[in-house]
Amino acid sequence: MKIQLLMMILASTLLCGQTQGPRIFNTVKQKLAEGKQVVGGTILTADPDIYCAVANSGFDFTWIEMQHSPMSYQDVAHMIMACKGAQAMPFIRVPDATEGDIQKAVDMGAAGIIVPMVDDVQKIRNAVKFAKYPPMGKRSQGNGQYGAMWGPDYRQIANDNIMVVAMVESPLGVEIAEEMARVPGVDVVFVASTDLSSFSGLQQGDPKYEAMVTKVLESVTRAGKKVAGPLAWKGNRKGYSFFQGPSEAVLIRTGAKVELGMGAGSEAKKGVAPTEGMENIKH
């Protein structure tokens, strides 16, 4: 009887091992798979203390801005490691979809790669290729702090955890939104409100602008991927799951106003995304 019981336990253990999927450490990926929305705080300052304050303040991820900031990869590596175990997953907007940019980002422990200015489907294919290990991609296995960040089994689970976000910033990107969404390995397509306005010459609310936004939403949803946008669109536009939140400067200013009883006075409450780059201009 004891032998039969032991055999049953062993069989059950083996069966569980066969059905169990890869370990998922990327909580953003988990939340999106559960149908939840996620919000990231934007990081422009190379200061580990400020980074940790944002990463542990309730955001789902950090949007580490390396396209439009002077931060180096060494700066970002120190920030990420200084806040190992933070609630927010580290996502990096790389300067471009080059092998060097993307491999350095994932080697330092990025859980997500945000690719700017996707006007050509090959660009996002390259991003996936450099972010993923074989057989899915061509990421080489080199040095990095990824193991210290995510565990000794990182090589086996990295492809199932690292997310790729493609940014639509121009009318050209709008036209290929569905095609980029259908690239294996792309998880999210982001509508960049400010640049879409800049490249199209149209403002939010203009029927032609709104038609482009609707086209991206419909085509990406049809492809089965998640749609992203600025935080101001959360609660005002249906179908969005992934949002870029404000920078550290805005968070400090807003927090100070709340503490002083002055109110936040944010454009986000009106459902209009603020113009990127205007955060530090005195009003």
Q: Is 45 exposed, middle or buried (0-12, 13-18, 19+ CB in 10 A)?
A: middle
Dist. CA 227–CA 44, nearest whole Å:
24
- Enter the DSSP assignment of 229: E
Contacts (Cβ under 8 Å, ≥6 apart) of 178? 219, 220, 222, 223
Positions marked active-site: 68
Please answer whether residues 88 and 79 qualify as being in contact, where contact means their C-beta atoms are separated by less than 8 angstroms: no
Q: Contact, 160 vs 148, CB < 8 A? A: no
Q: What whole-number distance in Å separates Cα of residue 76 and Cα of residue 82?
A: 10
159 in helix, strand or coil?
helix
